[in-house]
Amino acid sequence: MSRPIDPDEPKIYLLPNLMTAGNLACGFFAVLTIFKGIMVATSGKDYDFSKAQPYYEQAIMLIFASCIFDLLDGRLARLGGKESPFGREFDSLADVISFGMAPSLLMAKAVLFPLDEKIPGLGWGLACIYVLCGAIRLARFNCLAALPKSANVGSDFRGIPIPMAAGFISSLTYLIIFFNETDRDLGNWKYVLAAAMLGLSVLMVSNVRYPSFKKVGWRTRGTPLVIVIAAVIVIATVQFKYVMPAVLFSAYLLYGLVIRPFLPAKVQKEIEDPAEPMDEAEAENRID
């Protein structure tokens, strides 16, 4: 006899939650890799960034992989109509590790560690604030998502999403590694980066609206120009791997913070809500 289904048992859909598990695994291994880098860098008398650099690069790649898994889990859930409270909570728990703990630890040791020499604890303090704001942002998101649909206002994100914040932080760190390889002195830029991390933390818990692009799916129509632009961006990202991630994540950050509020509604809709092709039923019922 088959076991009766408990009505209180949460619905756990395989593919979306498998992507979330991949997100969490990448975040976990990113944290372990960063700790390896810290141990190697501090094995001598002084902190040696060059010894830890390969580990930090690997951790950044893992955080970027977490971003891809996080993108896929939501798409798969919406594609199959399998969104569930369990998936939402599981996703948030994974995000705290992958996009909260991992990038803040990375930033603290790969970029902000010179500040600790002048003001002890400043780098770790900024990293802690980032994790705290990220966790609060995720908790607020879950509370808003649990509201009845009639109470939700649009599909925009309130505050910058934590995966985008993590991508921005990680891509900046990746750029710093490039500067270090080319023997460029950061000078006072480390203070700018510290301020950027603090500002990003505040932005996560702010009420600034960011587009979710949830309506962009497998059936979204494209144009030849859009395809060419997307191909150029992909090629440029591969060719300039240290620079382009920072450019792309910065573009999203600035779009919601600076550009979007001043765009006409029609232009904003064309960018964020591309048309989808009609299904067969719509085509048959269409009146010309």
The answer, yes or no, to whether residue 284 has pLDDT greater than 50, is: no
- The upper half-sphere exposure of residue 153, i.e. CA atoms within 13 Å in the direction of its Cβ, equals 5
Interval 35-50: pLDDT, tens: 999 899 888 777 777 8
Average pLDDT, the chain: 82
208-225: average pLDDT: 75
Query: How many other C-beta atoms can be found within 10 angstroms of the C-beta atom of residue 40?
Result: 16
What pLDDT does 280 receive?
A: 45
SS3 158: strand
CB 122 within 8 A of CB 191: no
Tell me the whole-structure pTM to 2 decimals. Answer: 0.86
The answer, yes or no, to whether residue 27 has pLDDT greater than 60, is: yes
The answer, yes or no, to whether residue 150 has pLDDT greater than 50, is: yes
Q: Which of 123, 119, 97 is nearest to 109 (CA)?
A: 123
Helices (H), the chain: 14-41, 49-79, 85-95, 102-110, 113-118, 122-145, 162-181, 189-204, 224-239, 244-254, 265-272, 280-285
Interval 265-276: pLDDT, tens: 888 877 777 655
What pLDDT does 8 receive?
A: 65
